[in-house]
Structure 1
Amino acid sequence: MESENININLESTNNTPLEAEPLMLHDDDDGDGDEVEEVKDGSSSTRKRRRTSNVWSVFKDTKEKVPDGKPIAKCKWCGKQQKYNSKYGTGNLKRHVETCVKRDTKDVDQMIIDAKDKSITVRSSKFDPLKLRELAIAAIVIHNLPLAFVEYKGVRAILSYCLDGRDVGLVSRNTAKSDLLKLHAREKGRVKSLLEDVPGRISLTSDLWTSVVTDGYICLTAHFVDKAWNLQKRVLNFSFMPPPHTGVALSEKVYNLIDDWKIDRKLFSITLDNASSNDTFVDFLKIQLTTRHALLKDGEFFHIRCCAHILNLIVQDGLKEVDKAIIKARESIKYVKGS
C-alpha cells in the first residue's frame, strides 16, 4: 500500500511542471515601473498597472509600434516620437525630456491651474518682501487708503495666515510714505521720458478750485499724440496753490511746473475757463514763453477758452430769466405734497 501511494504521487507530480517561472517585475531606468509581466505554462500574458513615471506627464502613448515591435510615445511639447520598451524602462523618454527644444523651464510644482479661466499661470515659490511692499503701496494709491493701512492688525493677520506664519516684514506708515515718494519719483521719470519722445506739440488744460477747508489746488494736464498716433492724456501735477489766486501768482506757479517737466519748448496751447484772473495769467505766461521763442506764431493760438464753461454760463444766464417762475412752481408742488 505504501509503494502504490508513492507511485501515484509521482505520477501526479509528473503531470505538472516541477518549477514555475517566477513573477517578473521590470523597472524603468529611472526607477519607475510601467508594467508587470507574468509567464505561465509556456504562454506569456501581461497585466498592466498604473504608470508612475514622471515622463508620462510630457509624453502621450500613441498605441502604435515600429517594425521591431517597440511602442511609440509622442512628446506633447515638440511633437517628436520616441521609442520605448516597458520591459527595459522609459530612460529614452526621460533623456528627451531633459533635452527637448521646447522644454518648459518652470518646475511642475510651480505650475497651478486657474480654475476660473482654465489657463496655466506660474507662481514663484520664493517670497520677496520688497514685492509685498510694492503691492501694499499700489493698493494704497489705487483705493485711496490711509498710510496706516500697513499697520492694521487685521491686514497683518491675513498676510501672516496666507504666508503660513512667515515673517512678512510689514513696514510702518513712515516707511510706507517713503516708498510712496519713491514710487512717485519713478513714475514721474517714466512720464517725463514719454514727454521727451513726443514728436509733436503738447496741449495743456488747467483748473483751479478751493476745497471745503479753503485750501486751493491746481491741476495741470497734458494732451498729446504719441508716435503710434494715439491720443494720450497725463495728469502732470495736482499741487497745492496757496493764496492769493491772482493772475501773476498763477503764471509763476504754472511756469515753474512746465519748466520742471522740460516741456516749455513743446507747448501748443492751454485751455482754461473764463475766469477774469486767467486772462492775466495767460498774458504773463505768454510773455515768458515768447521771449524764449517757444510758441508758434508768437502765441497767437496759445489761449483757448473752455467751450463747456461758456455753455454753462449761457445756461446760468438763461435760468436767471425764469428764476421767479421756477420758484413759484416749486412752492406749489411743496404745498400740494404737504396738504
Structure 2
Amino acid sequence: MEQQQPIDLDRESDVEQHNTQSVGDKRTTNFWHKYVDIRDPKTNKIVKAQCKFCSRVLKVATKNGTSSMAKHLITCPNNPENIDKKQKKIRIFKTSQSDATMVSNWEFNQNSIRQALAKMIVIDEEPFSYVESDGFRYFCSVTVPQFCLPSRFTVARDIGKLFLSEMENLKNTFKGVTSRIALTTDCWTSIQNLN
C-alpha cells in the first residue's frame, strides 16, 4: 500500500473524496447519499462531507450524528426537495372581451407547454423546424425562460402522440352515439394552384 504524507484537514484539495461506504462505517440515515464523503487519507475516516446540490463542505463525523447535514438540506437552495411544488405563481392578464384585468394562479409545467407547442404547430400549419428558428427561441427565452425548447424531432413525436390521443377521444365519442354518422370532405385548389 502506498504511504501518504500527513495532511492539513482544513485544506480540501488534500483530502480524498469518496462516494462508497467502507468497512466499519455505521451510517444508517438517508442523509449520507446526498453528500460526497471527504476522508482523511491517513486514517480513512470521514472528516467532511460535500453537499451534492450546492457543493458546500460541512465538518462531519459518523460518530457525532447527522443534525448539521439535516439542517443544511432543509436550507440548501439547490435541493430539489425544497422547491414547494404546491406553490403557485400569480398570472395577470387582460381579457380579450373587455379591458378588465384578471388575476389567476399559474404553475410552470414543461409537459403542458410542450403539448401546447405541438397544438400550435398543427393549428398554424408551421413546419417542425419552426421551434429551431432564432426568433422563436428568443421569444421563448423572454416569455418563459424555464422552458427547455424541444428539437424538431421531439415536436414531431409530440404531434404523433397528440394525434393518437385525439383519435382515441374521437373513437370514445363515437362509441356512445347510436345514430349514423356521415363524414364529408371538401378538396379544392386555389387560384395560386395551392391544394
TM-score (norm 2): 0.45
Larger RCO (alpha carbons 8 Å, 6+ apart): 2
Higher strand share: 1
TM-score (norm 1): 0.27
